């Protein structure tokens, strides 16, 4: 469901959800950093900002390009789960109101979060804190609902699971020239990518418990965490036949360049 900005709920303020997120999310982010370097030619910059960094995976990966990273998230609970790093400074702030000076950064990244923002307000703020002609990278990755070893799993992932845990309201993820150009950015390119993660039934269950459709139900009290975990694991376990399986993920990267 897609709703206007004032109808989107922040689902990342709960400590239990942050703890699950920190322990069960795939660490695919270095793949994206490699693609950023290849597309932009960047390999060493002074100061970057990672916006909506969550539990810090994206910021950790960004240190491969940047000597200093400001990692920002609206949820103090998510940041409490981030691992310390000498090149990263963590800060609680909304994406639309960044507590930094104008023209402060050489690169900005947003991973798996743009659909939660007031997008025009965020783009205006990103334009303010970035230097002229530098890059804003928006990217996402999500579970494709497919298991390499068992195509029958797709029906459970696409039909059974969403019927029990519907997707909560969020904004559109579409990053288009029409959206970004009036706010001072050029959409210079888009890339799609895929990655596979080997998981057991328990590991897939743990991952699915980090998704906002499940978080929304658990944190609202309509189902307990234990009940949600049991329902998911009971549903997915038969597809694994007691062995790890290859789960398919896919994502996109949008390369935006700030104007003068």
Residue 65 lies in a domain: yes
Distance (Å, whole) CA 188 – CA 144: 26
Residue 122 lies in a domain: yes
The CATH number that applies at residue 131 is: 3.40.50.150
Residue 132 lies in a domain: yes
Q: Residues 68-83: what's their mean pLDDT?
A: 96
Q: Look at 96-110, 131-145, 212-226 and tell me which has the smallest mean pLDDT.
A: 212-226
CA distances (Å), 174 to each of 116, 139, 180, 205, 249, in order? 12, 11, 10, 28, 19
Residue 230 lies in a domain: no
Query: How many Cα atoms occupy the beta-carbon half-sphere of 77 within 13 Å?
Result: 12
| 3 or 43, greater pLDDT | 43
pLDDT for position 182? 96
Distance (Å, whole) CA 15 – CA 259: 39
pLDDT for position 147? 98
| 61 or 16, greater pLDDT | 61
Query: How many Cα atoms occupy the beta-carbon half-sphere of 151 within 13 Å?
Result: 0
Residue 114 lies in a domain: yes
Residue 98 lies in a domain: yes
pLDDT digits (tens, 9 = 90+) for 17-58: 889 999 999 999 999 999 999 999 999 999 999 999 999 999
pLDDT digits (tens, 9 = 90+) for 143-152: 999 999 999 9
Residue 105 lies in a domain: yes
CA distances (Å), 27 to each of 12, 141, 182, in order? 18, 11, 34
pLDDT digits (tens, 9 = 90+) for 231-243: 999 999 999 999 9
Token pair, residue 196, equals 């596979």
- Judged against a pLDDT cut of 70, whether residue 87 lies above it is answered with yes
Q: Are 180 and 138 in contact (CB under 8 A)?
A: no
Per the structure, the count of domains in the chain is 1
pLDDT digits (tens, 9 = 90+) for 101-132: 999 999 999 999 999 999 999 999 999 999 99
Distance (Å, whole) CA 124 – CA 109: 15
Q: Are 125 and 97 in contact (CB under 8 A)?
A: yes
Token pair, residue 46, equals 């002074």
What average pLDDT is seen over the chain?
Answer: 93
pLDDT for position 220? 85
- Judged against a pLDDT cut of 70, whether residue 226 lies above it is answered with yes
Distance (Å, whole) CA 57 – CA 126: 21
Residue 136 lies in a domain: yes
Q: Residues 142-165: what's their mean pLDDT?
A: 97
List the domain range (segments joined by +) for residue 173. Answer: 5-145+169-197+248-258
Q: Look at 4-8, 94-98, 105-109, 180-184 and tell me which has the smallest mean pLDDT.
A: 4-8
């Amino acid at each position: 469901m897609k709703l206007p900005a004032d109808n989107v709920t922040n689902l990342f303020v709960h400590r239990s959800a942050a703890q699950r997120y920190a322990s069960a999310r795939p660490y695919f982010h270095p793949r994206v950093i490699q693609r950023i370097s290849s597309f932009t030619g960047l390999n060493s910059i002074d100061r970057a900002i990672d916006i909506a960094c969550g539990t810090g995976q994206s910021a950790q990966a960004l240190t491969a390009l940047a000597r200093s990273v400001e990692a920002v998230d609206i949820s103090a609970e998510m940041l409490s789960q981030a691992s310390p790093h000498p090149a990263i400074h963590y800060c609680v702030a909304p994406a639309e109101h960044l507590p930094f000076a104008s023209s402060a950064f050489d690169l900005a990244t947003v991973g798996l979060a743009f659909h939660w923002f007031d997008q025009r307000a965020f783009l205006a703020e990103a334009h303010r804190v970035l230097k002229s002609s530098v890059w804003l990278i928006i990217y996402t990755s999500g579970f494709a609902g497919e298991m390499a070893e068992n195509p029958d799993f797709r029906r459970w992932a696409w039909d059974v699971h969403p019927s029990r845990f519907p997707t909560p309201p969020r904004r559109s993820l579409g990053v288009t020239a029409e959206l970004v150009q009036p706010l001072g950015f050029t959409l210079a390119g888009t890339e799609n990518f895929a990655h596979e993660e080997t998981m057991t039934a328990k590991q897939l269950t743990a991952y699915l418990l980090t998704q906002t459709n499940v978080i929304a139900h658990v944190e609202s009290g309509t189902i307990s965490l234990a009940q949600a975990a049991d329902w998911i694991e009971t549903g997915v376990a038969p597809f694994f036949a007691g062995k790890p399986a290859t789960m398919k993920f896919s994502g996109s990267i949008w390369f935006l360049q700030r104007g003068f």
